[in-house]
Structure 1
Amino acid sequence: MTDLLWDEVKCFFDLDLMGSLPDVRVPNASVEDWQAVLDLVAEKGWKYQYSEGETVLPMPRAEAVLSRPADAECPDLRVWPTAEVLAVFRFHADDEVDFDVDLRELQGQDRLDVLCDFLREIGRRLGKPVLMDPEGDYGHPVLGFDVEADRVVLLADPQVR
């Protein structure tokens, strides 16, 4: 299922406009939401790698990761929904699920469909919007999963960018 058409949204995948690593987030999240994302990764059979610094470790429970001391190194979870597309989750806060995607990997309709599928899976599991902001422009999403529409939609006018 195609949520967005590449020709209509490719400006939002322009590295000069968006930065190479736009911020993807689920606001108003909880530890339970983080755990639901970890469970989803395992259930979908997506390839993943959890690490703290240079040390690769088994996938932990969300509560354990999010209760680490403030001065501890921020762990990350690398998830490959397909072999060519990587999402890197950062455990900065328990009230927002956040991750980066690399726009260099998301060029063309096929890769856009992978991103939309990934955002839709997370949004459906959590019953919450999943928003993509330009890198460093937090709070100004250009696209995202809309819970009521049950699909990824544009949240900004491509003509304005």
Structure 2
Amino acid sequence: MPDLVWDEVRDCFDPGLMGALPDLHVPDTSAEDWQALLDLVAEKGWRHEYIEGTTPLAVPSAAHVLARPLDAECPQLRVWPTEGMLAIFRFLADEEIDFDMDLREIQGQHRLDAFCDFLCRLGRHLAKPVVMCPEGAYDRPVLGFDPVLDRVRVLGD
């Protein structure tokens, strides 16, 4: 049984309603959680790319990335948990793991299942919730991984 059923949540994946790049985040994190994310990406063998500015580089430690000067460009970790589905993590602050995924890449039950699998793997590895909000609306969670229930569920009203 899937965590979410496409016909029941399709509006949550409508780029016209949610914005093409909704805000996903893991709240209340630390540099250790960022490192756990980097370790998970390596452990799962997900295709990935670390970029500073426009320069692809080897993935450094999370402590190194988060200790960069304030005026430095924000590095990105681009992760493909499955073919044709990209998550872009931005190292904005150690207290929150922030990332985007393009809703146009998450259409239909098969892609929704892959998306839920990714959120579950991330949330389980960090033992934390993973929340999705409409683009630019952090105060309106729509769905996310619930570590207590150990599944992705609809949030909010």
State whether TM-score is above 0.5.
Answer: yes
Residue 75 of structure 2: aligned partner: 75
**TM superposition outliers: structure 1 runs of 4+ over 2 Å:** none
CA shift digits 1:53-85 (9 cap, x unpaired)? 111000110000001001001010000001110
Displacement, 1:139?
2.1
Aligned to 1:33, what secondary structure does the other structure show? Answer: helix
What is the alpha-carbon distance in structure 1 between the residues aligned to residue 132 and residue 43 of structure 2? 24
Instruction: List gaps (5 residues or longer) in structure 2.
Output: none
Question: For residue 129 of structure 1, what is the amino acid of its counterpart?
Answer: P
CA shift digits 1:107-137 (9 cap, x unpaired)? 1111111110000001001111000000000
Question: For residue 143 of structure 1, what is the amino acid of its counterpart?
Answer: L
Aligned to 1:24, what secondary structure does the other structure show? Answer: strand
Percent identity between the two aligned chains: 64
What is the alpha-carbon distance in structure 2 between the residues aligned to residue 94 and residue 128 of structure 1? 14
Quote the RMSD (CA, aligned, Å).
0.8
Residue 99 of structure 1: aligned partner: 99
What is the alpha-carbon distance in structure 2 between the residues aligned to residue 110 and residue 79 of structure 1? 19
What is the alpha-carbon distance in structure 2 between the residues aligned to residue 108 and residue 128 of structure 1? 26
User: Where in structure 2 are the equivalents of 1:3-152 lying within 5 Å?
Assistant: 3-152=3-152
- TM-score, normalising length: structure 1: 0.96
What is the alpha-carbon distance in structure 1 between the residues aligned to residue 110 and residue 129 of structure 2? 22
Instruction: List gaps (5 residues or longer) in structure 1.
Output: none
What is the alpha-carbon distance in structure 2 between the residues aligned to residue 55 and residue 139 of structure 1? 33
Residue 2 of structure 1: aligned partner: 2
What is the alpha-carbon distance in structure 2 between the residues aligned to residue 120 and residue 5 of structure 1? 16
Question: For residue 103 of structure 1, what is the amino acid of its counterpart?
Answer: L
Aligned residues: 157
